[in-house]
């Protein structure tokens, strides 16, 4: 054997030393290291460009592996209806998310990105996902354990598509049903909203024992990071106008709109989204006192704060009028991640310039990035950045649809049942010679699901996703010898002359989201009122109202024998027939006051002028032949 020159030995020793220091160099990737050590180690290695990249969230429409790599992008999202392709499968989603992730991992430091989506009533952007009732219906159940299970199911379906972050729950306290987002609120009563924050441990998992208050927690690959929104006061705007001004004292804000955030933070919520709305004239996206001083310093929230979609743009009127100022105001207020979502180079260049020119201190950037990295480390993204196909069968599973059906039947509120208690109409007999089903909402899955379903504004169709309409559920529930006649809007003569045993009328609101849902009149969509009058004027009828909030019903109430508030039940129409036909009893309680006229609004329980058609908490009960 030839002798090894001393020079070669030196080179070998140098390589060994390099390998040893290389292991030290990757300390932040070692899951055995304490969390703060990992954050500190990674922060010390990051350039300003890499830090600002982490603070940037872009929509998938402008994302690519190349963009992720070049700009060190920290997060990608799907806006409402932003999907890989129409009717995309779980595997299509995984392939897309992983492609973006590989771009992020190919950067110098390999910091994984986090992908966010609006899973606000199930994984609602995704074809064939289970669509649960919207929050207003879940508020009617008064069942936090059920809501927790819905969180668990939603987390599995979201992870089935490779996504790790949901912009939910909405913990707004809707104080005026004229607001187009009222169905995203569990109740007008903050105590009900507080109870429903139990969805957060459903989504994220239970925080470990003795965990520090305010530190986020996500329990591994079957859970997702949650987002409490919209901080704060979004449900209290004047006349319910979306994104408008909430005029209330600090005491009122803290006692009505803030309490659910206490619960969310205690339960380890990972992120909090800022509201478009203003408080006493000041835009929330620019409110340093409430974001930094109160949320971060007083409430000790340790996750990251995210803007809403183009939220900093709207600090100015018109939107984006002075983007330089918007960047400054939003970042210095304490927002950590900006949902840009398209013009990311404008945001990155603008923020970089302000930091380099000492307009925004480096300490503010470091605070933001530490918080973002904390969530990514805690949820295990560094160890498991890429999604696999192990959960794809969870999407729209039978188990989850069964849970959604249960949620529907528990959410229904019986407001009237016959003229007196001795002669109730419900439950309906399954065996009848001929029954009439009428109304625009009886055979329309899109109406049943409402906004935030496949598309941002929802859809008016039956083929938007997989589910069961109320008409289909009726046909599958009644006796095989019962003739079911469906006529969307029959006239009075038709109803009177066809010998129907009874009728089920299903009417309500058409789908909407956000500002498009703002309404000053809160009327049932045409021809709903005519359908009620024609059908209920000619035969015994139950009216089922599909809506995101109380609507004007008093003018027709004398004609209606039984009245059911079904809210926006989602994909499982059988939950409605479960209680209509008595397999289960009605148990739901109004999460909102049902007004007589819109002139009374805003009107909430406890108000001096409280004079409702049906009060908050009202709900008749029926006894099923078998236990619920």
Q: Which residues are catalytic?
A: 308, 514
> In terms of Cα–Cα distance, which of 402, 435, 550 is closest to 502?
435
Non-local CB neighbours of 43 within 8 Å, separated by 6+ positions: 366, 369, 370, 373
For 487-534, strand residue ranges (E) read 502-508
Non-local CB neighbours of 304 within 8 Å, separated by 6+ positions: 270, 271, 336, 337, 368, 371, 372, 374, 375
3-state secondary structure of 564: strand
Non-local CB neighbours of 8 within 8 Å, separated by 6+ positions: none
3-state secondary structure of 414: strand
3-state secondary structure of 95: helix
Interior angle at CA 554, CA 526 and CA 605, nearest 5: 115
Rounded CA-CA distance 417/414 in Å is: 7
Token pair recorded at residue 423:
């002669």
> In terms of Cα–Cα distance, which of 24, 55, 620, 27 is closest to 347?
55
Our separate counts of H helices and E strands in the chain read 21, 17
Non-local CB neighbours of 353 within 8 Å, separated by 6+ positions: none
Beta-bridged to residue 541, according to DSSP, are 503
For the chain, the first-to-last Cα distance in angstroms comes to: 84
The answer to whether the CB of 350 falls within 8 A of the CB of 55 is no
In degrees rounded to 5, what are phi and psi of residue 429? -75, 135
Rounded CA-CA distance 168/151 in Å is: 9
Interior angle at CA 509, CA 452 and CA 257, nearest 5: 60
Burial code (b: 16+ CB inside 10 Å, e: under 16) for 78-100 equals: bbbebbbeeebbbebbbebbbeb
Beta-bridged to residue 278, according to DSSP, are 245, 283
Measuring CA to CA, how many Å separate 75 from each of 63, 104, 344, 510? Answer: 10, 9, 11, 33
User: How far from chain centre, in Å, is Cα 101?
Assistant: 24
3-state secondary structure of 549: coil
Rounded CA-CA distance 375/304 in Å is: 8
> How does DSSP classify residue 330?
H
Which secondary-structure segment (H or E) carries 151?
Answer: helix 144-159
Side-chain-facing half-sphere of 203: CA atoms under 13 Å: 32
């Amino acid at each position: 054997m030839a002798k090894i020159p001393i020079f070669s030995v030196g080179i070998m020793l140098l390589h060994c030393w390099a390998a040893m220091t290389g292991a030290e160099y990757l300390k932040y990737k070692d899951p055995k290291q304490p969390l703060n050590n990992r954050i500190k180690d990674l922060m010390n290695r990051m350039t300003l460009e890499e830090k600002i990249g982490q603070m940037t969230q872009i929509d998938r429409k402008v994302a690519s592996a190349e963009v992720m790599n070049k700009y060190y992008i920290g997060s990608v999202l799907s806006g409402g209806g932003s999907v890989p392709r129409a009717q995309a499968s779980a595997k299509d989603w995984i392939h897309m998310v992983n492609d973006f992730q590989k771009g992020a991992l190919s950067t110098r430091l390999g910091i994984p990105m986090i992908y966010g989506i609006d899973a606000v009533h199930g994984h609602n952007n995704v074809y064939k996902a289970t669509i649960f009732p919207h929050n207003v219906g879940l508020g009617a159940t008064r069942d936090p354990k059920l809501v927790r299970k819905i969180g668990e199911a939603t987390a599995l379906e979201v992870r089935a598509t490779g996504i790790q972050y949901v912009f939910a729950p909405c913990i707004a306290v809707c104080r005026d049903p004229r607001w187009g987002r009222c169905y995203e609120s569990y109740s007008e009563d903050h105590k009900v909203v507080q109870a429903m924050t139990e969805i957060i441990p459903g989504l994220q998992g239970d925080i470990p024992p003795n965990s520090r208050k305010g530190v986020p927690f996500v329990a591994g690959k079957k859970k997702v990071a949650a987002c409490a929104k919209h901080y704060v006061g979004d449900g209290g705007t004047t006349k319910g106008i979306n994104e408008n001004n909430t005029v209330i004292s600090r005491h009122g804000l803290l006692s009505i709109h803030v309490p659910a955030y206490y619960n969310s933070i205690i339960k380890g919520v990972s992120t909090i989204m800022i509201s478009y709305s203003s408080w006493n004239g000041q835009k929330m996206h620019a409110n340093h006192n409430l974001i930094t001083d109160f949320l971060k310093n007083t409430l000790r929230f340790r996750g990251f704060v995210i803007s809403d979609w183009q939220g900093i743009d709207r600090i100015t009127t018109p939107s984006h009028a002075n983007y330089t100022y918007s960047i400054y105001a939003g970042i210095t207020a304490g927002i950590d991640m900006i949902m840009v979502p398209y013009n990311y180079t404008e945001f990155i260049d603008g923020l970089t310039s302000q930091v380099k020119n000492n307009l925004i201190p480096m300490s503010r950037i470091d605070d933001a990035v530490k918080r973002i990295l904390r969530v990514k480390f805690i949820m295990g993204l560094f160890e498991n950045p890429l999604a696999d196909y192990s959960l794809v069968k969870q999407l729209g599973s039978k188990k989850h649809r069964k849970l959604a059906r249960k949620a529907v039947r528990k959410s229904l509120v019986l407001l009237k049942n016959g003229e007196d208690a001795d002669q109730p109409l419900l439950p309906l007999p399954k065996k009848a010679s001929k029954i009439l089903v009428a109304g625009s909402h009886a055979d329309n899955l899109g109406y049943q699901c409402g906004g935030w379903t496949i598309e941002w504004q929802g859809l008016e169709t039956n083929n938007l996703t997989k589910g069961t309409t109320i008409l289909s559920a009726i046909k599958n529930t009644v006796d095989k010898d019962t003739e079911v006649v469906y006529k969307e809007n029959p006239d009075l003569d038709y109803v009177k002359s066809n010998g129907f045993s009874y009728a089920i009328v299903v009417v309500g609101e058409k789908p909407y989201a956000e500002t498009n849902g703002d309404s000053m009149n809160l009327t049932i969509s045409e021809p709903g009122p005519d359908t009620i009058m024609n059908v209920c004027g000619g035969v015994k009828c139950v009216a089922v109202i599909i809506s995101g909030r109380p609507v004007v019903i008093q003018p027709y109430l004398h004609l209606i024998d039984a009245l059911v508030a079904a809210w926006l039940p989602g994909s499982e129409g059988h939950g409605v027939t479960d209680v209509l036909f008595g397999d289960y009893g009605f148990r739901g309680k109004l999460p909102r006051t049902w007004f007589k006229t819109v002139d009374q609004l805003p009107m909430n329980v406890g108000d001096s002028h409280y004079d409702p058609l049906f009060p908050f908490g009202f709900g008749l009960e029926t006894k099923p032949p078998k236990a619920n």
